[in-house]
C-alpha cells in the first residue's frame, strides 16, 4: 500500500464544516490521498446551534465526530489540529505544534467567525454563536440569569428585572431572540416559583431599517410581527456602539442587560492572508471562477472564506448550501486536473432562504415562492432534519423537537462548568451594577 | 399566602443528589416550607456517569434539572448556590455570597468526593469521577489520546503506545476499565486509519487481593475473568503510591500512561465538620439511630455523608439506595415531630449490589441470589433504566444504549472545550516524557 501511495496526488482540506466535509466526500475512494485538518473532532451543524444555546438540543444532537462521518472514505485521513500557516511555495500546512502536512492541492474551508468590528473586548460581555462551546456559554448565561433572579427573589423578596439583548437581526439573531422568549414564556414558566419568568424582556437591536434583510421586505415585516407576538421588542435603525458587562450602549444610551448575545458581523479565517490573494474587509479571499486563487491554481478557497461575485453582481452568501456547492466545484476541478479535463466554473444555485421565529413559525423564500407561519415552519423543520448529517442525529433531533413540542419541556437544560467557573459566574453577575431606568420588579412571593 | 407561611416550619436540604431529592419529594405539599440548595442546577445520576466518561451517553441523558424534577412540589424552593457554613446555634446555612438561609430543620445530604489520601496534586494527572464535569474531562482525555496517537502516526509513521490506567477495582473502576476497553476494541476501531485502536492497553490496579470486594469472592473472580476477556489487565495487591503527568507509580515502579483515572477513596463533604459531631477519617458524620446528630436533634445527616453502624456491626454503604432510604427516615422523622409522634429508627434494607463489566456482562448479588453474564447485565440494565429519574431520560437512555448495542457507534463522542483548552491539552499530552519500557508500536500506515 505504501508503494502505490507514493504517486498519488495529496489533497489537504482545512476545515470540517459543510464545505470541507463535502469536499472530502467528493474525493473519497478516488486515486488521491486526502488529509482533512480540523481543530475539533466534530462537525457542527451550525444552523441549529441556537437550539443548543437555548437548551432545546444537546450538543451531541447537532455535532457528529468527523471520523465517523468519513470512516468509509478509505483514502481520507483526519487530523485533529489547528492550521496556523499555509506555505504556498513549499506547499505545506503548518499545525500549531510546528508539524508540517505537505500538499499538491489545498482546499481552504476554514470558515468565519463573528466580527466585533475591531472591538474584540466586547466578546466577553456579549458572546457570539459559532461553535458548540459558544452555544454552551450562552446557554449557561441565560439559565444562570434565571437562577440568580430566583435566588435573589427568595432571599430578598424582589429581584433585578431580567433583560436579554440580542445584537443583530439576521437569521441567527432572530432565531435566538425567538427561542429565548420561548424559554421564558413556556419552558421555564413552571419551574421557577419566586420569579415570573414571563416578565423577562427580550430585545433585538438591528442597525438596518428591517430585520432579515436578505429576504423580501414583506417577509421581514411578517417576521418582525411574529417576533413581537412572542414578546420580543424589536428596535430597527439601532446601532450598538459600545458594550460592557451588563450594559449595552444603543446610540447614546446605556441599556441594562442580564445577558447580551452578539449575532452580527463576519470575519473570515485569517488563513486567507497567507495566499497572496486579495482579501476584502471581512477577510474573504477573492477567488477565480474555478474557485482557485489567482497566483496558485492548486489552492482553492470555498465557503464563508471565499468572496465570489456572481454574474448579476451579487456576492454568493455565506450559507451552508453555497459552501457545499463550492466544495463540489473545487473537488471536481481537482479531479478534472488529474484526468486531463478542463476546469469548470462555479455557478451558485440559490435554493432559497429560511429563518424560524419561535417554535411554530418561520419564513421561507425561494425565487417567487414565499411561505410564512406554521407551514413555513414545517418546511424549515423538514429541510433541517433531512440535511442534518448522520442518521442517528436525525432521529434523535426529531425526537427531541417532538418531545419539546408536546411537553414544552427543555430536555437539555443543564448548566455545566466546574464549580469554580460557577463561582466566577455568580460573582460576575452579582457584581453587575443596578441600572436606574429599570424599576425592580415585584416578585410573586415574599420571603418571611 | 405570605401570612399562612409564617407559622410553617422551615426545612432546608443541602444537596440535590439521591438523598436530598428524595427528602424534598417526601416533604412536598406538606405544611412545611422547604428550600433545597445545590451547587448545580441538575441532579446527576451517578451510577451511569462512567458512560458519559466513555462517550456512550450525553450529559443530558443522565442529568435532569432539579427544578424540573420538583416543579410539582409547590412548597419546595430550589436555590442554586454553594452551602459554605452551617450555623447550628443561629440555625442558618450561609451561601458563598454570604447570604443566609434560615432553617428549623436541616437535612445535610452534600455527599462525598473521591479522596486522594492527602495527595490532592494527583487529581490533575488522574481525575476522579463524581460529577458531569469530571466525566467530560475524562472523556476529553480518552478521546484526545486516540486523536494524538493518530496524528503522530500520520506525521511520523509511528506512535507512542496507548495505555489507559484505572486506579481502584470498585464498581466505578471496573465499569470504567471495561468501557474504555470496549471503546478501543469496538466503537473506535473503524474510525482511526493510521493507528490500531485495538492495541490500546487498559490496566486496572487494585490494592486488595480481589476486585469488587463488596461482592462474594466467586463473583469477584468471575468479574476479573470477564474484564480480562475484554482485554483489561488486572493487577491485584497493587498499590499506586505516586502519580505525575503521564506516569503512575505502582509499588516502586513508574509505569507510563496516556490517561489515568482515579476510582478509589471517599471523602465526605467538609460541611460535616460544622455540626459539632464526631466524624470518621473519611469525614463522615456519626449519626444517631434516627439519623440526627447528637447535639442537634433538628439536624439530620444522610447519604454518603452519614456514618451509620448497623446492628450486625457493618456500616451502611455509600450507595444510592441507602441514601434514598435514609431520606425517607429523616423526612418522616421531621413530619413525626410536627405531628407529635415519636421518631423512628433507621433500618437499612440491602437490596443487593450490581456492577457491569463491558457492554454485555454484569454481576448481581442480592442475599443468596447471584447472577453473572448476560442475564445479570439485563437485570442491571432494567434496574438502572427504571430508576433513572425523569421519564424523558429513561426513553432516551434506552434508545441510546440500544443504538450503541446495534451499531457499536458511540453517539456522544464529542471533544468539547474551547480551542485554547485544546491547545493546552495538546501541549500537555505532547510534552509527556517518552517512557523507556514501552517500545513504539508500528503504525498500520506509512506516510510518504
Q: pLDDT, tens digit, for every residue of A299-336?
A: 999 999 999 999 999 999 999 999 999 999 999 999 99
Instruction: List b or e across A120-152, with b for residues whose CB sees 16 or more CB atoms inside 10 angstroms.
Output: eebeebbbbbbbbbbbbbbbbbbbbbbbbbbbb
Question: Does residue B78 sit at the A interface (CB-CB below 8 Å)?
Answer: yes
Hey, is the C-beta of B5 within 8 angstroms of any chain A C-beta?
A: yes
Contact B243, B126 (CB under 8 A): yes
| Residue in B with minimal Cα distance to A447 | B2
- For testing the chain A interface, which of B24, B42, B193 should be mutated: the one with the most A CBs within 10 Å? B193
Q: Is the pLDDT of residue A445 over 60?
A: no
Q: And the C-alpha cell for A195? A: 420569579
What would the grid cell of residue B351 be? 437490596
Q: Where are the alpha helices (DSSP H) in B63-195?
A: 66-69, 132-156, 171-182
What is chain A's length? Answer: 448
Written as nine digits, the cell of A2 is: 505504501
Q: Which residues of chain B have pLDDT under 50?
A: 1-5, 391, 408, 418-448
Q: Are B303 and B322 in contact (CB under 8 A)?
A: yes
Smallest CA-to-CA distance from B325 within B355, B287, B292, B291 is with B291
Strand-pairing partners, residue B301, are B108
* A193: its cell numbers: 416559583
Query: Across the interface, do B413 and A133 touch by the CB < 8 Å criterion?
Result: no
DSSP state of A161: P
- A42: three-class secondary structure by DSSP: strand
Residues 6+ apart with CB under 8 A from A445: A153, A154, A157, A193, A194, B1, B2
If pLDDT is split at 50, 70 and 90, which confidence band does A433 have?
very low
Q: In what order do the strands lie in the sheet with A259-262?
A: A232-235, A201-205, A163-167, A259-262
**Other CB atoms within 10 A of residue A247 CB:** 18
The overall average pLDDT reported for chain A is 86
Cell digits of residue A435: 441600572
Comparing CB atoms, the residue among A82, A133, A422 nearest residue B416 is A133
Cross-chain CB nearest to B191 (options A65, A97, A411): A65
What is the DSSP-derived secondary structure letter of residue B309?
A: B
Residue A82 contacts B where some CB pair is shorter than 8 Å: yes
Q: What is the DSSP string of B161-197?
A: PPEEEEE--SHHHHHHHHHHHHIIIIITTTT-SSS-G
CA distance A110 to B423: 17
Residue A38 and residue A15: Cα distance in Å, rounded?
5
* Per-residue confidence band for A210, with pLDDT thresholds at 50, 70 and 90: very high
| Predicted local distance difference test score (pLDDT) of residue A398 | 66
Q: Which of B137, B175, B206, B247 is catalytic?
A: B175
State the DSSP code for A174: H
**Chain B CA closest to residue A67:** B191
Q: What pLDDT, on the 0 to 100 scale, is given for residue B370?
A: 94
| Residue A317, SS3 per DSSP | coil
Q: Which of A330, A254, A234 is nearest to A285 (CA)?
A: A330
> Could you tell me which of A30, A39, A38, A40 has the C-alpha nearest to residue A10?
A30
Chain B residue numbers touching A193 (CB-CB < 8 A):
74, 77
What is the C-alpha separation between B321 and B142, in angstroms, rounded? 31
Give how far B433 is from chain A: nearest CA, Å: 16
Q: What Cα–Cα distance (Å) separates residue A355 from each residue in A177, A297, A359, A383?
A: 12, 37, 11, 11
Q: What is the pLDDT of residue B402?
A: 62
Task: Compute the count of residue pairs across chains A and B with CB atoms less than 8 Å apart.
Answer: 163
Cross-chain CB nearest to A417 (options B74, B133, B144): B133
Note whether B148 and B72 are within 8 A (CB).
no
pLDDT for res A416? 59
Q: B18-27 and B320-338 helices cross at what angle (nearest 10)?
A: 30
Task: Dump pLDDT digits (tens) for A87-110.
Answer: 999 999 999 888 999 999 999 999
User: Which three-class secondary structure state does DSSP give residue A34?
Assistant: strand
**Helix, strand counts (H, E) of chain A:** 12, 27
C-alpha cell belonging to residue B142: 480518552
3-state secondary structure of A195: coil
Query: What is the torsional sign of CA B124, B130, B133, B136?
Result: positive
Determine the Cα–Cα distance for residues B274 and B292; give it in Å rounded to an integer. Answer: 14
Cα A309 to Cα B47: distance, rounded to the nearest angstrom:
56
Query: Which residues lie closer than 8 Å to B273 by C-beta, 6 or more apart?
Result: B279, B283
Contacts of B145 (CB under 8 A, 6+ apart): B162, B164, B258, B259, B429
Q: How many other CB atoms are found less than 10 A from the CB of residue A281?
A: 8
Stretch A404-430: mean pLDDT = 49
Q: Is residue A137 within 8 Å of residue A262, measured between CB atoms?
A: no
C-alpha cell read off for B406? 446495534
Query: Which positions 89-128 of B are in contact with A (Cβ < 8 Å)?
Result: 96-97, 99, 101
Category of B114 on φ-ψ map: left (φ > 0), alpha (ψ -120 to 50) or beta: beta
Query: Which SS3 state, helix, strand or coil, does residue A441 take?
Result: strand
The C-alpha cell of B122 is what? 494527583
Q: Residue for cell digits 496507548?
A: B162
A100 is catalytic: no
Interface of A with B in 123-162 (CB under 8 A): 131-133, 136, 143-144, 147-148, 150-151, 154-155
Extended beta strands in B316-440, E state: 353-357, 361-366, 369-372
In sequence order, which residues have a C-beta less than 8 Å from that of residue B277 and are 6 or more positions away?
B285, B286, B287, B293, B294, B295, B296, B301
Q: How many CA atoms lie within 13 A of A317 on its CB side?
A: 13
Query: What pLDDT score was predicted for residue A437?
Result: 22
Cell reading at A250: 444603543
Query: Chain centroid to CA A251: how far?
Result: 26
E strands present in B4-131: 10-14, 33-38, 42-44, 63-65, 76-80, 83-87, 92-95, 100-102, 105-108, 112-113
**A158 grid coordinates:** 424582589
Calpha distance B241→B239 (Å, rounded):
6
- Per the CB < 8 A criterion, the answer to whether B109 and B15 are in contact is yes
- Find out whether A50 and A134 touch, Cβ atoms under 8 Å: no
Q: Which H or E element spans position B386?
A: helix B373-387
Q: CA–CA separation, A302 vs A332, rounded Å?
A: 13
CB contacts, 8 Å: A192 with chain B:
67
Phi, psi of B72 (to 5 degrees): -85, -10
- From the list B392, B403, B448, which residue is nearest A411 (CB)? B392
State the DSSP H helix or E strand holding residue B407, giving kind and residue range, or none if neither: helix B391-407
Give me the DSSP letters along B263-297: ----EE-GGGGGGSS-B-TT-PEE--TTSEETTEE
Contact B71 A191 (CB under 8 A): yes
Q: Residue B281: CB partners within 8 Å, gap ≥ 6?
A: none
| pLDDT beyond 60 at A441 | no
pLDDT tens for A339-358 read 999 999 999 999 899 999 98
Question: CB-CB: which of A35, A60, A411 is closest to B414?
Answer: A60
Angle, CA B211 vertex, CA B210 and CA B215 arms, to 5°: 95
Q: Looking at per-residue confidence, does A402 or B36 come out higher?
A: B36
Cβ atoms B205, B237 nearer than 8 A? no
Measured in degrees and rounded to the nearest 5, phi and psi for residue B130 equal -125, -25
- Dihedral angle computed from the Cα positions of residues A106, A110, A116 and A120, in that order, rounded to the nearest 10 degrees: -90
Contacts of A40 in chain B (CB under 8 A): 415, 422
CB A20 within 8 A of CB A109: yes
**Residue-level pLDDT at A442:** 32
Report the relative pairing of strands A163-167 and B83-87 from DSSP bridges. unpaired
Amino acid at each position: 500500500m505504501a508503494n502505490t501511495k507514493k504517486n498519488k496526488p495529496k489533497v489537504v482540506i482545512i476545515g470540517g464544516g459543510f464545505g470541507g466535509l463535502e469536499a472530502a466526500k467528493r474525493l473519497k475512494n478516488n486515486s488521491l490521498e486526502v488529509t482533512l485538518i480540523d481543530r475539533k473532532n466534530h462537525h457542527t451543524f451550525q444552523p441549529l446551534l441556537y437550539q443548543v444555546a437555548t437548551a432545546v438540543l444537546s450538543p451531541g444532537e447537532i455535532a457528529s465526530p468527523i471520523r465517523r462521518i468519513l470512516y468509509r472514505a478509505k483514502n481520507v485521513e483526519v487530523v485533529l489540529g489547528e492550521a496556523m500557516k499555509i506555505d504556498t511555495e513549499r506547499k505545506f500546512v503548518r499545525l500549531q505544534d510546528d508539524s508540517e502536512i505537505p500538499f499538491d492541492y489545498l482546499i481552504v474551508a476554514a470558515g468565519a467567525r463573528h466580527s466585533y468590528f475591531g472591538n474584540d473586548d466586547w466578546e466577553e460581555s456579549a458572546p457570539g454563536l459559532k461553535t458548540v462551546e459558544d452555544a454552551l456559554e450562552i446557554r449557561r448565561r441565560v439559565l444562570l440569569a434565571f437562577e440568580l433572579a430566583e435566588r435573589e427573589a427568595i432571599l430578598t423578596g424582589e429581584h433585578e428585572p431580567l433583560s436579554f439583548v440580542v445584537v443583530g437581526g439576521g437569521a441567527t439573531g432572530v432565531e435566538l431572540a425567538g427561542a429565548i422568549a420561548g424559554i421564558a414564556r413556556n419552558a421555564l414558566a413552571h419551574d421557577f416559583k419566586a420569579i415570573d419568568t414571563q416578565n423577562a424582556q427580550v430585545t433585538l437591536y438591528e442597525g438596518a431599517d428591517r430585520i432579515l434583510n436578505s429576504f423580501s421586505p414583506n417577509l421581514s415585516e411578517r417576521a418582525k410581527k411574529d417576533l413581537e407576538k412572542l414578546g420580543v421588542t424589536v428596535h430597527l435603525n439601532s446601532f450598538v456602539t459600545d458594550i460592557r458587562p451588563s450594559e449595552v450602549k444603543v446610540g447614546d444610551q446605556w441599556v441594562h442587560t442580564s445577558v447580551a448575545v452578539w449575532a452580527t458581523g463576519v470575519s473570515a479565517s485569517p488563513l486567507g492572508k497567507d495566499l497572496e490573494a486579495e482579501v476584502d474587509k471581512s477577510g474573504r479571499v477573492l477567488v477565480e471562477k474555478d474557485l482557485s486563487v489567482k497566483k496558485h491554481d492548486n489552492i482553492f478557497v470555498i465557503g464563508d472564506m471565499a468572496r465570489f461575485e456572481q454574474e448579476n453582481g451579487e456576492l454568493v452568501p455565506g450559507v451552508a448550501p453555497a459552501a457545499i456547492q463550492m466544495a463540489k466545484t473545487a473537488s471536481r476541478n481537482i479531479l478534472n486536473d488529474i484526468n486531463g479535463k478542463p476546469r469548470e466554473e462555479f455557478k451558485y444555485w440559490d435554493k432559497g432562504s429560511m429563518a424560524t421565529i419561535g417554535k411554530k413559525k418561520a419564513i421561507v423564500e425561494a425565487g417567487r415562492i414565499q411561505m410564512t407561519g406554521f407551514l413555513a415552519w414545517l418546511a424549515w423543520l423538514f429541510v433541517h432534519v433531512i440535511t442534518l448529517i448522520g442518521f442517528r442525529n436525525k432521529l434523535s433531533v426529531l425526537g427531541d423537537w417532538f418531545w419539546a413540542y408536546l411537553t414544552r419541556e427543555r430536555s437539555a437544560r443543564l448548566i455545566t462548568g466546574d464549580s469554580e467557573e460557577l463561582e466566577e459566574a455568580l460573582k460576575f453577575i452579582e457584581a453587575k451594577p443596578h441600572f436606574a431606568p429599570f424599576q425592580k420588579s415585584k416578585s410573586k412571593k415574599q420571603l418571611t
